[in-house]
Amino acid sequence: MDCSVCHYPNSGDACFCVRCAAPLGLPPERLPRQPEPLSSEEAAREAARSIQSGMVLSDRYQLVRQIGSGGFGTVFEAADLELGLRVAVKLLRSSSLRDPRVRARFLDEARMIAQLRNPHIVVLLDYDVTETGTPYLVMELLEGKDVGTLLGQGVLSPRRALRIAAQVCEALGEAHRHGIVHRDMKPENVVLLNRAGETDFVKVVDFGVAKLCRGPGVRTSAVLGTPAYVSPEMLAGEPLDGRSDLYAVGIMLWEMIVGQLPFPGTNQAVMLSSHLYAPRKWPRAIDPTVRMADPIEELLTQLVARAAADRPASAYELRARLLELAPLAPDRPFNVPPPTGGPPWDPPAG
């Protein structure tokens, strides 16, 4: 298996690169094709059991502390007792065990991450099921700060924001090359690490609602993701491809630089409608104190275009443009309030 960091060819059973020690990830062929069946008795027994710190899964992963929680899973920091490493363990919520579609989606997330070999994508190290039927993913532990947390302290300099977005596009380019659309790109799913001499080394996480979209004309069956970043084509039930993720990257850039959404709404209904119908303006038209080189403002406006065809054609093309424009961008943040992320959002139960 080739290392995604230094590209050294390692043996198929290696867990870490022998040259640079980077985690190699779990080969897709080691994952099951379908989730294991779960009886109603097993589901009831597992639902009654509380997953908590101190528990040991599969005689190997000892849960240390809970570090995150989402709609379908809970994430723990854990100790790998076999290798002596710290890892992240994501367990499917017990309340979702009875739903075979959610169990299948959880396995799909593992299969998608296992396919992707890029240093800017979180690495899947293992997949297993507890004795009572709860599936879980074991991933590299990311000790950094997500962009959402960073934005709580204020906006970033345009130059820094463009460089962060360029790394996000490198990760998305790898996913799109495999026909995978992330569908939930947002600041909280972009983690910044201190790695390889860089203080803003990007890792893209959470492929829980990603979708395999191969070929033209593939439509999504449901609107998933976070409303502030959902693309117009997803809302309209139109064909979906990687340019839907680029729309979300554009929204993130507006937040990181301008401090607000390109078309803010006072409530969820207005905000969702604005993705479809609001006029697209340059940042300086939204806030006159925000002025950048014309090509940068033009790109930020192009990224949130209503039609996917009016955005950059690919994540790789966008990455090249971001790196080209970064030296032209101011290296100090604008004096604008920290972004709010739009109206509060209560996700649907389950």
Tell me the C-alpha distance between 54 and 217, whole Å.
Answer: 48
- Shared-domain flag, residues 90 and 168: no
Q: What is the pLDDT of residues 122-154, one digit of tens each?
A: 999 999 998 878 899 999 999 999 999 999 999
Asked if the structure places residue 16 within a domain, the reply is no
Cα dihedral angle (136, 141, 143, 148), rounded to 10 degrees? -40
Query: Which of 108, 184, 206, 245 is the catalytic position?
Result: 184
Q: What is the pLDDT of residue 334?
A: 97
d(CA 240, CA 68): 29
The CATH number linked to 114 is 3.30.200.20
**Is 245 annotated in the active site?**
no
Q: Which residue range forms the structural domain that includes residue 39? A: 30-140
- Write down the pLDDT at residue 223: 58
- Per-residue pLDDT at 6: 86
Rounded CA separation 84/29 (Å): 25
183 lies in the same domain as 74: no
**Sequence-ordered list of residues with C-beta below 8 angstroms from that of 112, at least 6 positions apart, any chain:** 175, 178, 180, 207, 210, 212
Positions in the chain whose pLDDT score sits under 50: 217, 221, 346-350
* Number of domains the chain contains: 2
In this predicted structure, what is the pLDDT of residue 222?
Answer: 54
For residues 155 and 136, membership in a common domain is answered with no
Does 204 share its domain with 152?
yes
Q: What b/e string do you get for 221-250 counting C-beta neighbours within 10 Å, with b at 16 or more?
A: eeebbbbbbbbbbbeeeeebbbbbbbbbbb
Residues 246-255 have pLDDT tens digits of 999 999 999 9
Per-residue confidence (pLDDT) for residue 349, from 0 to 100: 38
Longest dimension (CA), the chain: 63
